[in-house]
Amino acid sequence: ADSSSALYTRYPEGLASALEKLAASTAPVKSANQSSAPMYIINPFRKKGRAASDLSSTHPPISERIRILRSMSGGASLSDYDNAFRQVHKGGRGVIPLSAIAGAGAVALRTAVPEVAQREAKLGKVERNREVSDLMWHLNNYKIIICACGTKLKIPPKLKSASVKCPHCGRDNRVWEQEGQEKG
């Protein structure tokens, strides 16, 4: 995954920095459950207040992944990743199949995006984050009701009430009738 990410972003240093931030975070992941845990880069069930460690990782050790990404100084191609992997694992075999390396060309590294461009791209990121967030709510059996004012109400599956008041406009929204379902 790291090799593909480096190839796609052409910015292995940024990926390494992001991994460092994830590894240093001590905040628990509240949205994690048993089915989504393998999708996380670090173990979402680590003890509260503890940073991620190589032993509790759901992927190869984070420190090793960071060293490999930071060793990709020549480019961002699959070949560059494979060379960096070999450099970190002194004398070891590569991880990218020769057939993949043979078919790929050189990929130049890119520099960090200036802050102005980041702000312009943020709107697209917000929309994408909302879509992913809505998917996670759906996977946890929450109902999403859209109020007449446009507010999305996320209704927990164990809610017994037949209606929910919108925090923005104060309108009562029926939980069960909106989707054509009977409570029960």
Per residue in 13-22, pLDDT (tens digit) is: 888 888 888 8
Query: Which residues of the chain fall below pLDDT 50?
Result: 178-184
Alpha helices in the chain (DSSP H): 2-9, 12-24, 62-70, 78-88, 98-102, 115-139
Asked whether the CA dihedral 81, 84, 89, 91 is positive or negative, the reply is positive
Reported as type and span, the H/E element at residue 163 is: strand 163-165
**% of the chain with per-residue pLDDT over 70:** 82
Structural contact between residues 107 and 75, judged by C-beta atoms closer than 8 angstroms? yes
pLDDT score for 29: 74
| Plot region of 141 (φ>0 → left; ψ -120 to 50 → alpha; else → beta) | left
pLDDT score for 184: 39
Helical pair 62-70 and 78-88, crossing angle rounded to 10 deg: 120
DSSP 43-84: -TTSPTT----STT-SSS-HHHHHHHHHT--S-SSHHHHHHH
